[in-house]
A and B are shown apart, each in its own frame.
Chain A
Amino acid sequence: MTALNWEIGGRSLTSRLLLGTARYPSLTVLQQAIRASGAGIVTVSLRRESAEGRAGSQFWATIKDLGVHVLPNTAGCKTVKEAVTTAEMAREVFETSWLKLEVIGDDYTLQPHPFLLVEAAETLVRRGFEVFPYMTEDLVVAERLVQAGCRILMPWGAPIGSGQGLNNPWALRTLRARYPNLTLIVDAGIGKPSHALQALELGYDGVLVNTAVARATDPVQMGRAFGLAVEAGRLAYLAGTMPPQDLAEPSTPVTGTPFWHSAQQEFHG
């Protein structure tokens, strides 16, 4: 067991990266990117299937082949009823009670609907789901979700697919400080590995990334870059980062410096 091992939803994993499976150039690239990233959890979804197409069955076979845990989402749902029905269908098809709960409240920002999210979470926890709620970074919404029985929270870093990174590090730090024992994942808005690293440095247990890998020029290479970033971030968090300060402090010892004090710099303000 290394310090990087962790438990989520009753399962033991090594990588702290959760990877989305959408928007890749092909199923083969998706498969290679997942392998290169080392991600142990991938998100999946449900869509209307035509009898002729069977695209879903092919995709599902590809994912099963990888031996990773799947986290079905309720993407696109805008009501509690839609989210709950989609969740029930996902549990049967994917044979897991894990659920990334998305209830969208605004079409332009895809911001989670805080009130409907809490309501849907209450229902789904009662029905035996392990709910991973996709939420804003709001502390009070977090508390309501915890009261509803969520053991995992997934605040957004920025809007889905925007690649803006962590827009509100203060709020994310506050959530971490207030819920030291809860599993916290930054979901959405991560644009590059340094954003993921930052989330892990803040003490987040993991990050969920999709577009940043899928839409990279080389998704496979980017998958590996994210895998390394989350590992570096977690190690940095465990090692304890130094506090920042305003003034310089020489890192090279000054005692015995040649020509010590022979030249004096003058400032003319």
Chain B
Amino acid sequence: MLIEVNGEKKELHQPQALAEAIQHWGYAGAAIAVAHNDEFVPRSRYATLQLQDGDRLEIVAPMQGG
């Protein structure tokens, strides 16, 4: 299935929870926050949120700002 991550399509071969997908894509240990289909997902829900084909994710991290 295809998941859109930060505007780019990424392939997932099997249905996964957000926590597994994040690890699979190499984000483990990074200071990140996630929005799923435009809704904020608290870290406590990563393990239970099952991704569906066509889902959109925003994965953001700290950045310089004014």
Q: Which residues of A contact B (CB under 8 A)?
A: 20-24, 30, 43-52, 54-57, 59-60, 63, 72-73, 75, 81, 85-86, 88-90, 92-94, 160-161, 208, 210-211
Pick from A45, A50, A51, A89: contact of B64, CB below 8 A.
A45
- Chain B minimum-CB-distance residue to A58: B62
Whether A45 contacts B30 in the complex (CB less than 8 A), given A51-B25, A92-B42, comes out as no
Check if B40 sits within 8 Å of A85, measured CB to CB: yes
Check if A45 sits within 8 Å of B63, measured CB to CB: yes
Check if B64 sits within 8 Å of A90, measured CB to CB: no
Check if A211 sits within 8 Å of B66, measured CB to CB: yes
- Chain B minimum-CB-distance residue to A56: B61
By a CB distance below 8 angstroms, the chain B residues around A85 are: 35, 38-40
Whether A47 contacts B33 in the complex (CB less than 8 A), given A81-B38, A85-B38, A85-B40, comes out as no
By a CB distance below 8 angstroms, the chain B residues around A22 are: 64-66
Task: Write 28 A-B pairs (CB below 8 A) sorted by A numbering.
Answer: A20-B66, A21-B65, A23-B64, A24-B64, A43-B65, A43-B66, A44-B63, A46-B61, A47-B61, A48-B7, A50-B6, A51-B25, A51-B30, A54-B61, A55-B61, A56-B60, A60-B31, A60-B62, A63-B62, A73-B66, A81-B38, A85-B35, A85-B40, A88-B33, A93-B31, A93-B60, A93-B61, A208-B66
- Chain B minimum-CB-distance residue to A76: B65
By a CB distance below 8 angstroms, the chain B residues around A54 are: 30, 61
Check if B66 sits within 8 Å of A47, measured CB to CB: no
Check if B61 sits within 8 Å of A92, measured CB to CB: no
Whether A92 contacts B43 in the complex (CB less than 8 A), given A46-B33, A56-B31, comes out as yes
CA distance A86 to B65 in the complex (A): 13
Chain A contact residues: helix, strand, loop or mixed: mixed
Check if B66 sits within 8 Å of A160, measured CB to CB: yes
By a CB distance below 8 angstroms, the chain A residues around B39 are: 85
Check if B40 sits within 8 Å of A56, measured CB to CB: no
By a CB distance below 8 angstroms, the chain A residues around B26 are: 51-52
Question: What's the minimum C-beta distance from B37 to chain A, rounded to whole angstroms?
Answer: 10
CB-contacts of B7-59 with A (<8 A) = 7, 25-27, 30-35, 38-40, 42-43, 58-59
Check if A44 sits within 8 Å of B62, measured CB to CB: yes
CA distance A208 to B65 in the complex (A): 12
By a CB distance below 8 angstroms, the chain A residues around B43 are: 92
Question: What's the minimum C-beta distance from B30 to chain A, rounded to whole angstroms?
Answer: 5
By a CB distance below 8 angstroms, the chain B residues around A90 are: 33
Check if A59 sits within 8 Å of B63, measured CB to CB: yes
By a CB distance below 8 angstroms, the chain A residues around B59 are: 48-49
Check if A56 sits within 8 Å of B62, measured CB to CB: yes
By a CB distance below 8 angstroms, the chain B residues around A59 are: 62-64
